Amino acid sequence: MSEHILDAKGLNCPLPILKARKALKDVPSGETLEILATDPGAVADFQAFCRQTGNELVEHSEEDSVYRFLIKHTAA
Amino acid sequence: MSTEAQIVSDEIQNTASEAPVAAPETKSMSIIVTKGSLDWAYPPFILATTAAAMGLPVTMFFTFYGLPLLLKDLNLKLTAAGNPAMKMPMMGMHMGLPNLLTAIPGVDAACSTMMKNLMNKKGVASIEDLRELAIEADVRMIACQMTMDLFEYSLDDMIEGPELGGAATYIECATQSDINLFI
């Protein structure tokens, strides 16, 4: 469980990414942000987002159509 | 290789090996925005905000029918005329609109309202919201001066932020961008 949580459920592309970017700004480097989303496109998009920005996608999972992403703020 | 050339060659190699490790290259993007209907307003704003969120410096150049997307008050509409691919999910199927019906007064307005309701229901951001997010993300916006003159707009009609520029302003930006899109 991360202490930084973003609920992006019900939001469609590109809002989960945009809100995650904003939320990451308040996450100190080295700490993680947990994101909950229902947009199936978010799975590929968060992977691409992390590759491009240099943040680490620690894990992602799906349960009852809710996708959970754990992103470690590692980028500058 | 002469001794002198060898020395120069060694110096180049030394310089190269001593150069600091470059940070991952930052890519940049520019988009020419030429269309101002509700449906066509989405691709440029979605890509601009997402690229900015991914760390790319982004420039949007608003020209012709794209320029009104910078107006303070947006009341975007779309038309099904000439667009056989526009089919809305309705009553368990996908329904399109014959061109002839789109000519009836009020039909385009009704279609636009339906599309906005559908987008809202599906959690798709409004253009107003995406535009606000683009401004927050420091997306550079250039309003085409020629289009401003042509359609008689002034900066007072526009939101805060856009600068004025012309083709040369855009070309200079495009030569420095890794990705250049025309939408």
**Based on the structure, what is the number of domains in chain A?**
1
Both tokens of B107, joined, read 């039909």
The CA R_g of chain B, rounded to the nearest whole Å, is 23
Please judge whether A12 and B54 are an interchain contact, meaning their C-beta atoms are less than 8 angstroms apart: no
Which of B123, B124, B133 lies at the smallest CB-CB distance from A18?
B133
Domains delineated in chain B: 29-182 (3.40.1260.10)
Angle of the A15-24 helix axis to the A42-53 helix axis, nearest 10: 40
Both tokens of B141, joined, read 């916006």
Domain of A51, in residue numbers: 4-36+43-72
**Global model pTM greater than 0.90:** no
C-alpha span between A10 and A16 (Å, rounded): 9
Contact between residue A22 and residue B54 where contact means Cβ atoms under 8 Å apart: no
Nearest CA in chain A to B23: A76
Averages of pLDDT over runs of 10 residues in chain A (76 residues) are 89 96 95 96 96 95 96 88
Q: pLDDT for B132-148, tens place per residue?
A: 999 999 999 999 999 99
Q: What pLDDT band is residue B76 in, cutting at 50, 70 and 90?
A: very high
Most distant pair of Cα atoms in chain B: their distance: 85
Q: Residue A62 maps to which CATH number?
A: 3.30.110.40
Burial A24-56 (b: 16+ CB within 10 A, else e): beebeeeebbbbebbbeebeebbeebbebbebe
